[in-house]
Every structure is written in C-alpha cells, then in structure tokens.
Structure 1
Amino acid sequence: MDFSDGGGEYSDVHRIAPCSTHAAKPFGPVEVRRDENGWWHHPGIPDFGGGEDPAPYKAWAAEQGLEVKTSAMEVDLACHPYWDGATHCNSWDPQSPGPEWFLMGIFDTEDGPHVQWARRMVKL
C-alpha cells in the first residue's frame, strides 16, 4: 500500500504492510456446508452479474492462479431422484480428484448437477 500526506515529495510516500488480520487473503478452501438440497458454492467467488458468459469467471480463476476441474453427477451416479424430477442432489458425495483440490461448488446446470474443484496451478 502507498500513503502520502499530499506534500508531493517522494520522501512523503510511505510503504505500509498490513498485519495478518487486514492483509488480503489468498483464495482457497473453506468449510463446506451444503444447503438442504445439496447445493453449495464457495463464498469467495465474486458475483459476475448472473450472466451466462463464462469468460469473466475463467479470467478471474486464471488471475487467482487456479486450475479448475468440473464433473457431472451422472459420471458418479447412474440413478438418482434428480433424473426423475427431484430438485436436489442429496446423496451425491463427489470425491476430490486429489488432496490438493478444494471445492468451488456443487450446482445445477441445464445438463444436470455438476461439481467443480480447483487447485493452485504449479509454477514451473
């Protein structure tokens, strides 16, 4: 952060390092509490205006340094009440692709329930 008292002199600019309480927190895993229908989304994901265009979300995920992986419920379950008209995904317990992945969301799409996982991209 920069601070200036308005004097316009270079010597008036101070660098301030916020304490751990006020510093920006890196995006990462949080406690998951699915709703009564089994849906959930990460509370740290910004609101992109509810549009259908995935570009802003993809750009944000890349900016966060995240690799994202999505999977459909039908890959895990051949039979579920959802396929008979239910509006929930209860009893679906999607498994993480690995220990470094964390949950981004369990959500409904026009193609049925999906889960999305993320992990930090490895920098080479």
Structure 2
Amino acid sequence: MPIEKISFVNGEPAKCGCLMKFSSGGGEYSDVVYVTPCAAHSPKPFGPAEVKRDENGWWNHPGIPDFGGGEDPASYKAWVAQLGLELKTWDMDADLASHPYFDGGCHCNGWEPQSPGPEWFLMGIFDTEDGPHVQWARRVTP
C-alpha cells in the first residue's frame, strides 16, 4: 500500500478531512503538532471481511499481513496476540468423512466449515501439509 502524504496548509484541515492543531509550547517545551485523522486515515480495526473463496475453495482474510512470506508462525502469532484475538483451527477431516481431496484432489470445494459461534469471524480456509484447515478468530474478552 503506498504511503500517502497528508498536507496541512496554513493550519486548515487537509483536503481529506484530517485536522491539525499546533502548539508552540509557549517556550516551556518543544513544538507539538496534534493530528486528528479523518476516516480514510484512521486505523481500521481488524475484523470480519467479505468471504469470496477462489475456484478451489481456498480463502485468506485480506487484512492479514504478508510477514515476509516465511513459514515461521512466530510473527503471525505475535500479530494475533497484539490484536487481542483468540484463534480456533481444525482440519477438514474433522467435518467430513470423505472428500475428493482425500483421494488426491487439489481443492476443498463442498466443505462449508461452520463458525464456532456468532462472535467468531473467518481468518482463512487454506491447505497445509496435513490437508485443508479452517481458522476462525474472535476478540479476547478481558
């Protein structure tokens, strides 16, 4: 995603709606610029996304970062913890006794894993060395 510059001219709001307030510190401390981001620049909370599975039935949440394309799950687990999410994962054979995948098919079409509850949202339906898996997430309640 390209980085967008937000420009404030003569203390006026930016064209997008971001607001800026300047304080000189009155000689007692450093200059301070307070920025109130508009809706387009406010951090988006991570949560449910529209699910459009591909032709083979796979799907990943579009908000999950790339993490450099590595296989080490540590970065992903740290990111999930930072967001305050709990995960629940299981494989397709926990739901289905037979499927073309088990006989060498390369898809999971026909598998419709059900959410563990109304507060859970889908993180992905993906292939692993152990076969198709589904992963759900929900906010951890304090």
Gaps of 5+ in 2: 1-19
Contact 2:61 2:124 in 1 (8 A): yes
1:64 matched to 2:49: no
SS of 2:134 mapped into structure 1: strand
Deviation at 1:3, TM superposition (A): 8.1
Q: Residues of 1 paired with 2:73 and 2:61: CA distance?
A: 16
| Equivalent in 40, 56, 60 of residue 37 of structure 1 | 56
For the residues of structure 2 that align with 1:65 and 1:120, how far apart are their CA atoms? 6
Q: Which has the larger radius of gyration?
A: 2
- Which structure would you say has the larger RCO, counting Cα contacts within 8 Å and 6 or more residues apart? 1
Q: Hey, what's the Cα distance between the residues in 2 that align with 1:18 and 1:48?
A: 26
Which residue of the partner structure matches residue 118 of structure 1?
Answer: 137
The C-alpha deviation readout for 1:4-43, integer Å capped at 9, x for no partner, is 79x9x63620211112222001100010000000000001
RMSD between aligned residues: 2.1
* CA distances 1:30-71 after superposition (whole Å, capped 9, x unpaired): 100000000000010000122221111000000011101101
Normalising by structure 1, we get a TM-score of 0.90
Map 1:1-124; keep pairs closer than 5 Å: 10=29, 12-123=31-142
5+ residue gaps, structure 1: none
Shift of 1:101: 0.2
Q: In the TM superposition, what whole-angstrom CA distance separates every residue of 1:73-118 from its partner, at most 9, and x where no partner exists?
A: 0000010000010000000000000000000000000000000000
Query: Which piece of structure 1 moves more, 14-23 or 95-104?
Result: 14-23
Question: 1:78 and 1:112 mapped to 2: Cα distance?
Answer: 13
**Amino acid paired to 1:32:** V
Given the two structures, how large is their TM-score scaled by the length of structure 2?
Answer: 0.79
